[in-house]
Structure formats: structure tokens, C-alpha cells
Amino acid sequence: MKSIILIAAPAAGKGTEAALLKEEYHIPHISTGDILREKAAEDSDTGRDINYKINNGIFVSDELIIDILKERLQKEDCTNGYILDGFPRNTEQALAYQDMLQELGKELGVVIVIDIDKDKAAKRIAGRRSCPNCKSVYNVNTEGMKPKEEGICDKCGHKLDQRADDNEETYIDRYNTYLEKTSPLIAFYDKLGVLYHVDGNGDKEATHEQVRKILGA
């Protein structure tokens, strides 16, 4: 199984696709945000440093992220591949990741961009709801993504949340920032011949089937 990097604008369905890949291919979904939060909970100098930066809105350095990611990728569950989410975010991180893979003797795998129209994504994000307990994601504006009971998580019964910035007005700025920051990264992987695009404007099944074809399922 190849390792997979997922790149997508907010509300394009990256988290949903990662969950489907994890379930079907039995490989870990590695979110740099999650592993930083896990590290921040540790009673260590590094953990306390990361915790301070997260709580005060200070960026964690690329070097530290690379070190933590390197430690994670050496665990046994990553032997047959993994899904990388939230990293790399720019070409500098991509180059550092290339060096790390060479050091670990791992292959790059494939990079999949989930494309979505800005207006479509803006409407989708306004309906997004998430479970703070089990991290499940729903969408009240999308068929097949609605919770069975309004406002309640299907999996654990916890009350669902809506992020304060999940609205159409704020989203336009986030989408434009995504395009600005991500375009050079997409071009970087395109030159390496490992980049694939899928259409994320349809439902999750349609998106997943495109990804499966790329992976040779």
C-alpha cells in the first residue's frame, strides 16, 4: 500500500476521505495537529513547550514538527503506509519531508488533491458539525452526512459543535488563503509526477471511488 498525502481546501471532504481510507486499507490517519496535541499533553520539556505555543497561538517550528512526525512514522502501524493530513503545508516543509523519507528509507507515495468549487465549499462549510468527543464530522446540508438525530453524534451520543468560523463569509478568506499557500506545493508535487486530482464536488462515495482508482483498487 502506498502512503498518501491529502491536500484540500476546508470543507472539501479531506477528513471524511481519510476516515474511509483508514477503514478500507487499515493504515493510520496521521494528522499533524493531532500528534502535536498528543505531544503537548506529555509531561516533558517538549510537551510543555508545545502546549504553551498552542495555547498562545504561536507557530510550532518546522524542525520540531518534522522531529515529531519522524518519530510517529517509525511506529509499526506505518510499515504498510499511512495517510498524512495537514503536512506538508508549503514547499519548505515538503523538502524537509523528502529528506526525512530518504533517511527512513520510505517512499513518497502519492499526493491527492481534492478539488472543490469555492461557492460549493462555502455552502457546505456552513452546515458542518463535529463531535468534540470522538471527532466524527457531519454536515446538515449534505445528504448522507446528516446525523440521525439533529445535533447529536451517531457514534457516541455527544452533542455536536459548530466552529465559530464555519460561515460563508469567513470561509471565502480561508479559501483564498488556501489557494495562495497551496499552489506552490501542488506545483512541487506535480513536477515529481506523484500528484493526482479528484473532484470533491459530489458526495463522499463519488470522491472515494476516484481515490480508489488512483490507488489501483
Q: Which CATH superfamily is domain 4-116+178-211 in?
A: P-loop containing nucleotide triphosphate hydrolases (3.40.50.300)
128 is catalytic: yes
pLDDT of res. 217: 58
The residue from 22, 53, 146, 174 that is catalytic is: 174
Kindly give the confidence (pLDDT) of every residue in the chain, 217 residues in length, as a single tens digit, with 9 standing for 90 and above.
789 999 998 888 898 899 999 999 999 999 888 888 888 999 988 889 988 988 887 888 889 999 999 999 999 999 999 999 889 989 999 999 999 999 999 999 999 999 999 888 888 888 889 999 998 888 888 878 899 999 999 999 999 998 877 777 788 888 888 888 899 999 999 999 999 999 999 988 999 999 999 998 5
Q: Following DSSP, what letter does each residue of 30-51 receive, concatenated?
A: EEHHHHHHHHHTSSSHHHHHHH
Give SS3 for 172. Answer: helix
Cis preceding linkage at 184, omega within 30: no
Q: Following DSSP, what letter does each residue of 175-197 receive, concatenated?
A: HHHHHHHHHHHHHHHHHTT-EEE
Alpha carbons 197 and 149: distance in angstroms, whole number: 34
The residue from 159, 163, 181, 213 that is catalytic is: 163
Q: Which residues pair with 215 in a beta bridge?
A: none
The residue from 22, 53, 89, 123 that is catalytic is: 89
191 is catalytic: no
The residue from 14, 39, 72, 124 that is catalytic is: 14
129 is catalytic: no
14 is catalytic: yes
Q: Could you tell me the pTM of the whole model? A: 0.82
The residue from 39, 72, 124, 128 that is catalytic is: 128
Alpha carbons 88 and 86: distance in angstroms, whole number: 6
